[in-house]
Structure 1
Amino acid sequence: MITQSRFDRHELARMIAAQGDDHRLLLEQSARVTLQTIGDSVWLRGLIEFSNICIKNCYYCGIRRDNRLTSRYELDDDAIVQAALFARDKGYGSIVLQAGERNDAAFVDRIGRLLCQIHEKTHGELGITLSLGEQDAQTYRYWKQCGAHRYLLRFETSCEQLYYQMHPHDHRHDYQTRLQCLQALKSCGYQVGTGVMIGLPGQSFHHLADDLLMMQQLDIDMVGMGPYLEHQQTPLYQRRHELWPVQRRFQVALNMIAALRLLMPDINIAASTALQAIDPMGREKALRIGANVLMPNITPSVNRRNYQLYDNKPCVDEGADDCSSCIRLRVEMVGRKLALGEWGDSQHFFNRNKQ
């Protein structure tokens, strides 16, 4: 059984801050550990961003409730099912259903029906991840019974003070609620994913080290994290002068992936789209040094430009076929292979449930 590694806060902070030869050696080490522990396979999750309607008002997010300049949309059930069938036919193995956050009864019921429809139409061949924010335990259990088995809920930062620099301090934005939701997801039997933003205003390397240690403490199964990229129509944009240069945020994001791979060798780590927003080969560089999941966007292209959490999001003008056609080449370019038709579940999930 693969065990988690032990690093203290200061060791992790040094790894995360690494530059020059230290940066290169860290990435080389994480690349070796990746091949030794999870191999060279890359799993695909077809990302369906089916609605940008959101009740939250996070200070960093382009689809926040109070952004009146965003055109709101919601895909109908048939469009979502057709996107799922596209993913199945392309051999993606899994999909991610992602949307702005809602928790009203109509939304909860609709997700349950969609999960049942997708499961029926694809004959249970697709793994299904949900990324639908904070819900109560009853909702999480209901959606799991309907066919979801993975859930992604980023805690965004382990520092409560930073959390409230990114969110209003009200009943809809509560730091402890976020952590309680992660525990509820584990109790419901999901493979649990989380993540953070890297390079926030006021964030230090020790904050980021604490983020990784919290992931280890929570014993999560998968991670999606990337560099913070600002959006002009958000309150946090006013603090852009405090940010690290984008290339430094990119470098630190790679260090975070590498350090996490060393800390938790058997989890799934996604190569985030935000990396590609800085470097055209950003996701491929992440695959080379520790990431093992890609999430190609299969949202209809007419809607993609309205699901922009940050400025200059890549691939908003491409169709699902465009994203699909170049994936194999990009993955093989960095010495990895696509595991088509496989769910690509987290080894860590199965390892921790054997204990």
Structure 2
Amino acid sequence: MKTIAEIVKQTEFSNEDIIRLLSVTDPEEAAILQKAAYDRATQTVGNNVYYRGLIEFSNICTLDCRYCGIRKSNHNVPRYELDKNTIVEAAIWAAQNHYGSICLQSGERRDPKFINFVTDVLRTIHEKTVSPELPHGLGITLSLGEQTLEVYQQWAQASGNPIGLRYLLRFETSNPKLFDHLHNAPGREKGLERRYQALADLRQAGYQVGSGVMIGIPGQTLEDLCQDIRTFQKLDLDMIGMGPYITSDGADMLGEGMMEEKALMRLSLNMIATTRLVIPDINIAAATALHALEENGREKGILHGCNVIMPNITPRLVRKNYQLYANKPFIEQEPSDTNHYLQHSIQSTGREVALNVLGSSKHWKNRTGH
């Protein structure tokens, strides 16, 4: 059997290799995996970490995903929707504080009022953030669920920045049975093949396409996670956003429990590092959920190959109501405090924050010639 030290030197990996890397628990082997992923990231995507200022502008959702704290049937969470001016002000703050990009996220809706509202917000953000430092305006990542191709195209045009246009739409798991278990609401409002079609539509509409999975779902195996990585490859993704499965008080899966936190953290870091080794030129975000498991969790994500971080710049008064999982960190921090903290913590990993930079995926650049 090959050693971990031998496997991490490879550039091509068998399923057996991937499962072996995902299964690492020995501290010495874990250190070898971490260093290999960090070094591979340095070689392929550089020493920079890119900001995506996260604006969670509404927790109103029309869907009932069983794992989610803001699902439609959770009647204990106060619902909110930020107005246009508040969202735009947050975006302008990001631009003035040298963030190259933001991420707009909300619960999933498909009604015309919502679609047109987002369109208007995108146009205004672009108009207000073009500057000598950001000649194309802020980069925009949208995380607004499944929409039609026509809606994706409408939003792409409104963003005004085709070289900084991204969409994050996680498929959560490539195991169809697990996917259905996560979404077994009446009418099967989500399907895995439909999700893959939406990702194809995003590619057609010109987005840098991002997806990802939850790690440690009850019933998930290492073989499932290996197939998730193979699915990342098959979809030819430009960026990955994935994190640990953490239960939520408002969800419908509390009775199924979750992995012990230390083991879940180890598995999550293994998944990040292995993905970096297998697909070296993509952007990988250090999920805030890592920090819910362990202090300095996001920094550990960076040490295992992540090169994107998403500081929460949502107004603090409503931030507590956008809890997709329990114990979400940084709810009470002001954006300016988060900024200072992140600069220091990212530098502690040996990386540098790239300011006034779109931070587009190198994989996307290689794929498109940009």
Q: Give the alignment's TM-score, normalised by structure 1.
A: 0.96
Deviations 1:21-68 (A, max 9, x none): 222211111111111111110100100000000001000000000000
The answer on whether the counterparts of 1:10 and 1:206 sit within 8 Å (CA) in structure 2 is no
Is 2:25 the counterpart of 1:15? no
SS at match of 1:255: helix
List runs of 5+ in structure 2 lacking aligned partners. 1-9, 131-135
Choose the corresponding residue for 1:134, options 142, 146, 155.
146
Separation in 2, partners of 1:189, 1:350: 13
2:305 equivalent to 1:290: yes
Amino acid at match of 2:281: D
What do the CA deviations read for 1:240-299 (whole angstroms, capped 9, x no partner)?
0xx321111111111111111111111000000000001111111111120000100000
Letter in 2 for 1:188: A
2:7 is matched with which residue?
Answer: none
1:44·1:293 contact (CA, 8 Å) conserved in 2?
yes
Give matches, 1:135-214, under 5 Å.
Answer: 135-147=147-159, 149-168=165-184, 170-214=187-231
Match of 1:226 among 227, 232, 243: 243
SS in 2 for 1:298: coil
Equivalent of residue 272 in structure 1, options 287, 292, 298:
287
1:76 is aligned to 2:83: yes
In 1, the alpha carbon distance for the partners of 2:188 and 2:111 equals: 15
How far apart, CA to CA, are the structure 2 residues paired with 1:296 and 1:76? 20
Provide the rounded CA distance (Å) in 1 between the counterparts of 2:147 and 2:22: 32
Structure-2 separation of matches of 1:107 and 1:338: 34
Between 292-301 and 171-180, report the one with greater CA deviation. Answer: 171-180
Match of 2:355 in 1: 340
Contact 1:5 1:264 in 2 (8 A): no
Task: Classify 1:5/1:108 alpha carbon distance in 2 versus 1 (closer, same or farther; 3 Å).
Answer: farther
Residue identity (%):
44
In 2, Cα distance between equivalents of 1:282 and 1:329: 14
Between Structure 1 and Structure 2, how many residues are aligned?
350
Deviation at 1:171, TM superposition (A): 4.5
Give the partner amino acid of 1:17. Answer: S
In the aligned structure 2, how far is the partner of 1:127 from the partner of 1:119?
9
Gaps of 5+ in 1: none
Coordinate RMSD, CA, aligned: 1.3
2: CA distance between counterparts of 1:297 and 1:32? 28
Letter in 2 for 1:134: E
SS of residue matched to 2:301: helix
| Aligned mates of 2:219, 2:230 — CA distance in 1 | 19
Q: Pick from 249, 253, 256 the counterpart of residue 239 of structure 1.
A: 256
Normalising by structure 2, we get a TM-score of 0.92
Q: Distance in 2 between matches of 1:41 and 1:71?
A: 38
Alignment partner of 1:353 is 2:360: no
Q: Which residue of 1 aligns with 2:3?
A: none
Q: What SS class does the counterpart of residue 13 from structure 1 fall into? A: helix
Which one-letter code corresponds to 1:150 in the other structure?
R
2:127 aligns with 120
> Could you say which residue in structure 2 is the equivalent of 1:27?
34
